[in-house]
Amino acid sequence: MNEGNFRNNIQPGMLVKVVQKKHQRSGELTTGLVKAILTKSPQHPHGIKVKLDTGEVGRVKEILDEDE
């Protein structure tokens, strides 16, 4: 299971890779910092939906280490 599927693994300020709705077919990932967590449920099979600091919205596919 992807750690991006669980809300408690994601905090504002974390560096993540998300797939935006318009990129779901291609699977293109966007990297950014989490500004807000939009999914209310504790988990979601396609990834927790977040808003990045750029204003883009997507579902978390990967959580990157802060060291990267």
pLDDT at 51 over 70: yes
Is the model's pLDDT at 60 over the cut of 80?
Answer: yes
pLDDT, position 65: 73
- Judge whether residue 2 has pLDDT over 90: no
Burial (CB < 10 A; 0-12, 13-18, 19+), residue 20, is middle
What residues have CB less than 8 Å from 14, skipping those under 6 apart? 33, 34, 63, 64, 66
4-36: pLDDT as tens digits: 999 999 999 999 999 999 999 999 999 999 999
Backbone angles phi, psi at 36, to 5 degrees: -150, 150
Instruction: Tell me the pLDDT band of 68, cut-offs 50, 70 and 90.
Output: very low
Mean pLDDT of 41-67: 93
Closest by CA to 32, choosing from 3, 9, 60, is 60
In the chain, the domains with their CATH numbers are 3-63 (2.30.30)
Which tokens in the block code for residue 64? 């990157």
